Amino acid sequence: MYLAAESWPDLDAYFENESLALVPLGSTEQHGPHLPLATDHLIAEGFARAAADRTGFLRTPTINVGVSPHHRQFNGTMWVDAPVFRDYVESFTRNLAYHGIDRVIYVNAHGGNVEHLREVGRRLRDEEVLYAVEWMWNDSIPELVDDLFERNGPHGGPKETALIQHLRPELVHDDRLADARDGGFPEFEASEMNRHGARTFYDAIDNTDNGVLGDQTDATAEKGEQLFEAATDQLVQLCEWLDDQPFEDLLPKEHA
């Protein structure tokens, strides 16, 4: 069920009988020369829509702009400052609590949002408003991601390319995949980004001239479909697990 497509009287039965909502979040930021700036929020929205359709749980409108200042040097990237993002998401989520929702899954597809969504979830749980948890699609299926791609990357790489090839193929510049690989950082290793235990860079452009990492030529729509179906299964299982939990078990424990 998509909240914004319903009239308010038609939502009465949902809020009377259900207590879970899916909130998709992403970003509007550069994803190299081959992918749209909408990549992250299109992926988040796709997963939230599929899980909502399969489970019947409520899906909210998508939060399209996230914490992305580390991509600001590339044309069109949009971002909000981290404290603003946290306050906005918290207020947005409190709206749901007002209507009777007491558990929320942040269906997230942007790494820059993760720590801030965790902080918002802690705030709301500590105040016993509701229980909110962050879900990141690739973290739910790490073995499959590793199996499908020889040279993966955390941003604009083959896994995100494959998903957009599956979800919105008309937005992918397939003729630029080799340029994306050759102008980026195809042999990404997280350890190479650190110096003596310190993360010494702040912006994507410090490491990659065109904003992407990994080998985009390794992506196909078929691989994207595999990723999408497997991660959707995980999200559905998370929805069902969370729906089954007694609310009091989700709240902070008493002092030891």
Q: Can you give the pLDDT of all 256 residues of the chain as single tens digits? A: 999 999 999 999 999 999 999 999 999 999 999 999 999 999 999 999 999 999 999 999 999 999 999 999 999 999 999 999 999 999 999 999 999 999 999 999 999 999 999 999 999 999 999 999 999 999 999 999 999 999 898 899 999 999 999 999 999 999 999 999 999 988 866 556 778 889 888 999 998 999 999 999 999 999 999 999 999 999 999 999 999 999 999 999 999 9
DSSP 208-245: -TTS-BS-GGG--HHHHHHHHHHHHHHHHHHHHHHHHS
Tallying the residues shown for the chain, one arrives at: 256
Q: CA torsion 170→176→180→182, rounded to 10°?
A: 160
- Give the Cβ contact number of residue 120 at 10 Å: 23
Phi, psi of 71 (to 5 degrees): -115, 15
Per-residue pLDDT, 53: 98
The tokens describing 168, both together, are: 């919105």
| pTM (two decimals) | 0.95
Contact 25, 62 (CB under 8 A): yes
Check if CATH label 3.40.225.10 holds for domain 3-247: no
Q: What share of the chain is helix, strand, coil (3-state, %, to 5)?
A: 55, 10, 35
DSSP secondary-structure letter at 173?
Answer: -
